[in-house]
Amino acid sequence: MEKYKLIISGGGTGGHVYPAIAIADAFKARFPDSEILFVGAEGKMEMEKVPEAGYPIEGLKISGLQRKLTVDNLSFPFKVISSLFKAKKIISKFKPDAVVGVGGYASAPIMEMAVRNKIPTVIQEQNGYAGLVNKIVANRASKICVAYPKMEKYFPADKLVMTGNPVRKDIIELAHLKEEAYTHFELSPEKKTVFVFGGSLGALTLNESMFNGFQRLLDEGYQLIWQTGKYYYEKYKDLLPNELPEGLKLLPFIRRMDLAYACSDLVISRAGALSISELCLAKLPTLLVPSPNVAEDHQTKNAMNLVNEGAAVMVKDIDAREKLIDEALVVLGDEKWQNSLKESMGELAKPEAANEIVDEIYKLIQK
């Protein structure tokens, strides 16, 4: 049985952490005796989510630069130096056969030390716009696995491999979950369902748009799963009647995303790379509202990649409060358009992304 040592570095957001765990799971499935070590940033979500997934993790004292002068900025050079020293110790002690960087500040020191020690390195870039850390290490990385076309704008073309984003397997086949999904959310299988979510914390624009227009959706005979995010839940729970209107499910967070997708006829979402990859696998008609509060407006680039393929509809954040419900009703009322969106979404899906990334890692180890 082949046995390897793999380090996966990076994190900071779910868009980095969950693909990293999916890669680890695929590597472990293929090489069960292998050892996998994660390296993340202290205080970030990976320090909780990775151990929950069953993997050990080391934390680095690293953070990004703030846009204004702060104490954190003044301490930034010292954090970089201490992180590089710790990364060197981790590499020296663990002796990995390969290192994967998924983006986020924690991946930079480990990738740097891996390159210096001539250890094969793989970058996994989730977005249609390259992250800062990935761009910094790209020229010296061995391979770069991407989810969108035309990434040679940011990376050396000869290193690129189009794999898609690795996501959880439980959303590939959803048809058999429909009955369970309607029961779980206490919804009617006779009505079409709209599912709105803006990440675990929530999205202000989506919540305000829904609050302004949810009654129109209900009046037109649709039902709504509205994930507010933990941050906004109490506010909207207080604003709405104690007894919610029939067909409205207001939730702070959804653990069973597979069930939410299974009973959805239209999804309204931000345009994070991970969400888009899941929606493609689930083949769901989708209205994307890109967040304007991200680096280089990369969510708009993610969304436009789908729009250009006829796979999704985009509403700008600035227009959403006025136009989102109108657009949703147009899509919901057009069965032919829904089917076209489903078909195009399915064509963009990459169900074997994690395994293809493992293929690339294995090839590099074998060299």
Instruction: Write the pLDDT tens digit of every residue in 277-295.
Output: 999 999 999 999 999 987 7
> Per-residue pLDDT for 311 more than 80?
yes
Percent of the chain with pLDDT over 70: 95
Cβ–Cβ under 8 Å, residues 253 and 229: yes
User: Are residues 199 and 251 both part of a single domain?
Assistant: yes
User: Are residues 121 and 30 both part of a single domain?
Assistant: yes
User: Are residues 332 and 360 both part of a single domain?
Assistant: no
> Per-residue pLDDT for 75 more than 80?
no
> Per-residue pLDDT for 7 more than 90?
yes
Among the ranges 7-21, 53-67, 255-269, which has the highest mean pLDDT value? 255-269
Q: Give the pLDDT confidence of 314-332 residue by residue, as tens digits.
A: 999 999 999 999 999 999 9
How far is 88 from 299, CA to CA, in rounded Å?
34
Q: What is the pLDDT of residue 331?
A: 97
Is residue 15 a known part of a binding site? yes
Structural domain span for residue 328: 170-348
Q: What is the pLDDT of residue 64?
A: 53
DSSP state string for 51-93: HHTT--EEEE---PPPSS--HHHHHHHHHHHHHHHHHHHHHHH
**Spatial CB neighbours of 309, under 8 Å, sequence gap ≥ 6:** 344, 347, 348
> Per-residue pLDDT for 234 more than 50?
yes
Is residue 366 a known part of a binding site? no
User: Are residues 242 and 338 both part of a single domain?
Assistant: yes
How far is 177 from 64, CA to CA, in rounded Å?
41
User: Are residues 146 and 202 both part of a single domain?
Assistant: no
Q: Give the pLDDT confidence of 23-38 residue by residue, as tens digits.
A: 999 999 999 999 999 9
- Buried residues in 309-342 as b, exposed as e (16+ CB within 10 A): eebbbbbebeebbebbbebbbebbeeeeebeebb
Domain of residue 79, CATH code: 3.40.50.2000
User: Are residues 194 and 343 both part of a single domain?
Assistant: yes
Both structure tokens of 101: 């960087």
User: Are residues 156 and 79 both part of a single domain?
Assistant: yes
Is residue 13 a known part of a binding site? yes
User: Are residues 344 and 355 both part of a single domain?
Assistant: no
Q: What is the pLDDT of residue 68?
A: 47
Q: What is the pLDDT of residue 265?
A: 97
Site of tokens 């060197």: 88
Torsion sign across C-alpha atoms 253, 133, 131, 8: negative
Nearest CA to 33 out of 57, 1, 7 is that of 1
**Spatial CB neighbours of 253, under 8 Å, sequence gap ≥ 6:** 200, 227, 229, 230
**What is the average pLDDT across 121-137?**
88
**Spatial CB neighbours of 120, under 8 Å, sequence gap ≥ 6:** 97, 98, 99, 114, 142, 143, 361, 364, 365, 367
Q: Give the pLDDT confidence of 158-194 residue by residue, as tens digits.
A: 999 999 999 877 787 788 999 999 999 999 999 999 9
- The total number of structural domains in the chain stands at 2
Instruction: Say which residue, 42 or 129, is predicted with more confidence.
Output: 42
Is residue 126 a known part of a binding site? no
Both structure tokens of 278: 């899941």
Q: What is the pTM of this model?
A: 0.85
User: Are residues 259 and 330 both part of a single domain?
Assistant: yes
Instruction: Say which residue, 117 or 296, is predicted with more confidence.
Output: 117
Among the ranges 65-74, 108-117, 128-137, which has the highest mean pLDDT value? 108-117
Q: What is the pLDDT of residue 66?
A: 42
Quote the mean pLDDT of the chain. 91
Q: What is the pLDDT of residue 83?
A: 79
Both structure tokens of 74: 């003044």
> Per-residue pLDDT for 358 more than 60?
yes
Residue 247 φ/ψ region, left for φ over 0, alpha for ψ in the -120 to 50 degree band, beta for the rest: left
Q: What is the pLDDT of residue 78?
A: 53
Q: Give the pLDDT confidence of 147-162 residue by residue, as tens digits.
A: 988 899 999 999 999 9
User: Are residues 207 and 149 both part of a single domain?
Assistant: no
Is residue 205 a known part of a binding site? no
Q: What is the pLDDT of residue 65?
A: 42
**What is the average pLDDT across 192-207?**
90
DSSP state of 290: -
> Per-residue pLDDT for 70 more than 50?
no
Is residue 164 a known part of a binding site? no
Is residue 66 a known part of a binding site? no
> Per-residue pLDDT for 74 more than 60?
no
User: Are residues 247 and 295 both part of a single domain?
Assistant: yes
User: Are residues 199 and 314 both part of a single domain?
Assistant: yes
pLDDT band at 76 (very low <50, low <70, confident <90, very high): low
Using only C-alpha atoms, what is the Rg of the chain? 21
Strand, coil or helix: 146: strand
Is residue 14 a known part of a binding site? yes
> Per-residue pLDDT for 87 more than 80?
yes
> Per-residue pLDDT for 80 more than 90?
no
